[in-house]
Structure 1
Amino acid sequence: MKILTYKDAEYPAFAQSLRRRAIPEDSVRDLVGEIISNVATNGDEALVELTQRFDGAALTREQLFISEEEFEAAEASVSAETREAVRRSLHNIHDFAHKSMRKDWSGKNAEGATVGERFTPFDRVGVYVPGGKAPLVSTALMTAGFAQAAGVPDIFAATPCGPDGTVNPALLFALRQAGVTEAIKVGGAQAIAAMALGTKTIAPVDRIFGPGNRFVVEAKRQLVGAVSIDLLPGPSEILILADDSAVPAYIAADLLAQAEHGGDSAVGFLTPSMELLEKVKKEVEEQTELLSRSKIIKEVLKTGTFLMHVESLAEGVRIVNEFAPEHLSLIVENEDEILAQIRTAGAIYLGPDSPVAVGDFLAGPSHTLPTGGAGRSFSGLRADQFQRRTSIVKMDKPAVAKSLSVIQEFARLEGLDAHGVSTSIRLER
């Protein structure tokens, strides 16, 4: 762990480095570009070849798809406890989604025209569910589950398989419960390319959702235009801002829970209390030894974890807004005052008894959130992102008459006389 106090000479430079931009490395950009080009040219054959290359699974073109028999076998094999966990999580997801969806509306403008908006679900969306070191069952629910709540009729999923060509049964069960209508055993940038561009066997989607590693995120970035995307959610991260009111053991547990994701995870803790920082450091070291993924956690603690003794809570807030964390845990006595100053976090967990894990699995909001500093520009996944917005305008003759002079003036300013005529003709004939 990197431990710094505001009195250290290197503190200002390190604090400045926490203002991040989600800009890919050249090597990542180039490799992803090659993968996209390969899928665009060779379609299903490219997916077969790339799945063998990156996942070690030798599949035929037909085996790229998860069969109905595989879905049925998965449903038959999952435990009652898994069924209940999926049911309760989906219940909260649907409830949260329904409350946050946009509703149709209409009204009159100043000239008497009827104006409004209507919101309809996308026809076909793609959801990406990472595989890698663990089956992210909750991610299936927190992407496809929102599409299901929004009424999307065709939900296509992509998730990587293991070297033996299988997908975890609990993940398959969750995908089906969340309304997935079709799925492939393909991961990485090639899965994003297939969903965006289509192949002989895969129809392209209207929009792509879901988190992934840096290659998945870069593929989404490069394919904007061919398809729309939700946001740029990459490796997991947490930032905790706390004062002396916090419990050190709780803070350490939340830091380790995020470090458990491994890879390029970012884990940070800010406090104006050096005493609290030392206690948290001790708890992290002790708790790590008790966890099953301690080897993975230790790598993240070594390369992606920082504990900072800041001069004040105000300085901590400044760093939070610069860092734009995916998850922010805020444990301070003057909670409302500090919360009002936070602008860029993807999700905020308030108080000592709000573990980030409840947001990962159960609370209701999606855990698909912006990372790598993208929180300054993007919000987390929401139900209304599965809705297509269409504006509505309806006019009668009196409204046309009241609007004509303004339309004609803009037409004159912009040299578009046909625009003016298209309005005036409705009053002349």
Structure 2
Amino acid sequence: MKILRHSDPGYASFIKRLNRRAIPDPGVRELVGEIISEVAANGDGALLAYTKRFDGATLTAKELFVSEEEFAAAEKAVTPATRRAIARSLKNIKAFAKHSLRKDWSYKNAEGATVGERFTPFDRVGVYVPGGKAPLVSTALMTAGFALAAGVPEIIGATPCGPDGKVNPAVLYALRKSGATEVIKVGGAQAVAALALGTKSIRPVDMIVGPGNRFVVEAKRQLVGAVAIDLLPGPSEVLILSDKTGNPEFIAADLLAQAEHAGDSVVGFLTDSKALLDKVLKAVDRQILTLSRNKYIRDVLKGGTFVLHVKSMDEGIAIVNDFAPEHLSLICADEKKRLAQVRTAGAIYVGNDSPVAVGDFLAGPSHTLPTGGAGRSFSGLRADHFQRRTSIVKLDKAAVRKSLDVVEEFARIEGLDAHGRSTAIRLEHR
């Protein structure tokens, strides 16, 4: 891992490089563009070809969708403990979602017109659940579960199958319990393209949500307009900022848990305490020996992890706000003050006893969060992402009369006399 202290020569330049912008790699952008064009032109055929190429699975068009028999087999396969865990997580998700759903409202403006907003759920939403090295059951819950809470009537899951054409049963069970009405066995940029554009077998959706690798994220970026998206959640990341009050064993465990995601995961630890830094590094070396995904963790520690001894907590907060981490673990004596200073994190875990893992699996907020610096512009997935906002305006004659002079003045300024006339005519006809 990269370890730098504020007195080191390369410290300042490294800090500058941490100020990220979520700009795609040109090679990724080009390849994803080709995939989207191919799916647009050849539909199911392109989807099946890419599934064979990238996932090693040979499917027919009829096998793109998970069958009812497969759903039933998945339900039988999951253990009672898994069922209980999924049920408890969904319960918290639904409860949390209720607080963020927007409600219809209206009031009378100064001219007496009734104005307001109405919120309705999207009709058909696609939720992407990554495959890869771990079955992300919790991601199924924390995408589809929020769509379910918002009242979306059609939820289509997309998750890659294995070479045998099967999807992890716990993922399928979680998707079905979260309201998924259909699931396709396809992943990657090709799945995003199929959901957005439609194929002969797959009807297009109104919105696509969920995390994924850089190809999935880039596909969502390129297809905005053809479809709505939630945000740009890519490979997982965590930043831990702690003063001397941090528990080194807990911090080490959180760093290792993040590294367990493998791939392009990013792990960062910042502290103004040299003593804590040294203790955390020793704890990491000791704890890693007990973990089953030891190889993946070591790869991330080597290539995607940095540890910084910052000059002060003020500097640490400044780095956090520049970095815009997906997850921030904030551990300090003056946590209320420091919490108020953080502006760009996707989710904040406050104090020694707030492991990110509880947020990942159970707490209630979605773990689908902005990564790669996108936290400056995006917030994490919420239930209200799945609601359309429509403004409502209703006038009577009195409100029209009070509005007319302003409308006619704007019409004169902008040279749009028909606008003014369309308002005035209502007062000429009784």
The two structures share one fold, judged by TM-score above 0.5: yes
Deviations 1:285-312 (A, max 9, x none): 1111110001000000000000000000
Question: The residue matched to 2:341 in structure 1 has which SS?
Answer: coil
2:383 matched residue in structure 1: 383
| Structure-1 residue corresponding to 2:280 | 280
**Which aligned pairs between 1:17-416 and structure 2 lie closer than 5 A?**
17-416=17-416
Shift of 1:64: 1.1
Please list every run of at least 4 consecutive aligned residues from structure 1 whose deviation after the TM superposition is greater than 2 angstroms.
none
Give the AA of the match of 2:97. A
Q: CA RMSD in A?
A: 0.5
Q: Secondary structure at the residue paired with 2:176? A: helix
Secondary structure of the structure 1 residue equivalent to 2:407: helix
What's the TM-score, normalizing by structure 2? 0.99
Which AA in structure 2 matches 1:358?
A: V
Once the two structures are superposed, residues 324-362 of structure 1 have per-residue CA deviations (whole angstroms, 9 ceiling, x without a partner) of: 000000000000000010000000000000000000000
Q: Distance in 2 between matches of 1:85 and 1:318?
A: 38
Q: How far does residue 99 in structure 1 lie from its aligned partner after superposition?
A: 1.1
User: What one-letter code is carried by the residue in structure 2 that aligns with 1:219?
Assistant: A
What's the secondary structure of 1:186's corresponding residue?
coil
- The CA distance in 2 between the partners of 1:346 and 1:77, in whole Å, is 35
Matched residues in 2 for 1:142 and 1:83: separation? 16
In structure 2, C-alpha distance between the alignment counterparts of 1:283 and 1:377, rounded to whole Å? 35
SS in 1 for 2:318: helix
Could you tell me which runs of 5 or more consecutive residues in structure 2 were left unpaired when the two chains were aligned: none
- Structure 2 CA distance for aligned equivalents of residues 195 and 22 of structure 1: 23
State the distance in 2 between where 1:227 and 1:414 align. 33
Indicate the SS of the match to 1:179.
coil
Secondary structure of the 2:267 match is strand
1:133 to partner: Cα distance:
0.5
In the alignment, residue 100 of structure 2 is paired with which amino acid?
S
Q: Secondary structure at the match of 2:208?
A: strand
For 2:53 and 2:289, locate their aligned partners in 1 and report how far apart those are by CA, in whole Å: 35
For residues 6-60 of structure 1, the C-alpha deviation after alignment (integer angstroms, 9 at most, x for no partner) is 1111101100111101111111001100100110000001111000000001111
Partners of 1:134 and 1:428 lie apart in 2 by: 69
Secondary structure, aligned partner of 1:289: helix
SS in structure 2 of the partner of residue 126 of structure 1: strand
In structure 2, how many angstroms separate the alpha carbons of the residues matched to 1:77 and 1:260? 25
Task: Report the alpha carbon displacement of residue 369 of structure 1 after superposing the two structures with TM.
Answer: 0.0
* Counterparts of 2:125 and 2:409, CA distance in 1: 42
Hey, what's the Cα distance between the residues in 2 that align with 1:179 and 1:404? 49
**Deviation readout 1:361-404 (Å, 9 max, x if unpaired):** 00000000000000000000000000000000000011001100
Q: Secondary structure at the match of 1:340?
A: helix
Which letter does structure 1 place at the counterpart of 2:208? Answer: I
Q: Say which SS state the counterpart of residue 239 (structure 1) adopts.
A: strand
One-letter code aligned to 2:14: F
SS in 1 for 2:38: helix
Three-state SS of the structure 1 residue aligned to 2:180 is coil
What is the deviation of 1:171?
Answer: 0.6
Following TM superposition, by how much is the alpha carbon of 1:77 offset from its aligned partner in structure 2, in angstroms? Answer: 1.4
- Secondary structure of 1:62 counterpart: helix
User: For each residue in 1:136-168, what CA deviation from the matched residue of structure 2 results, as whole angstroms up to 9, or x when unmatched?
Assistant: 000000000000000000001100001111111
CA distance in 1: counterparts of 2:213 and 2:77, whole angstroms = 29
Distance in 2, Cα, partners of 1:336 & 1:347: 15
Q: Distance in 2 between matches of 1:284 and 1:322?
A: 26
User: 1:223-276: CA deviations, max 9, x gaps?
Assistant: 001001000000000000001111000001001111100011000000000110
Q: Distance in 1 between matches of 2:265 and 2:329?
A: 16
SS of match in other structure, 2:290 = coil
User: How many aligned positions are there?
Assistant: 429
Counterpart CA distance in 1 for 2:78 and 2:413 is 67
Partner amino acid, structure 2, of 1:311: K
Matching residue's letter, 1:296:
Y
User: Match of 2:10?
Assistant: 10
Secondary structure at the counterpart of residue 156 of structure 1: strand
TM-score by length of 1: 1.00
Partner of 1:426: 426
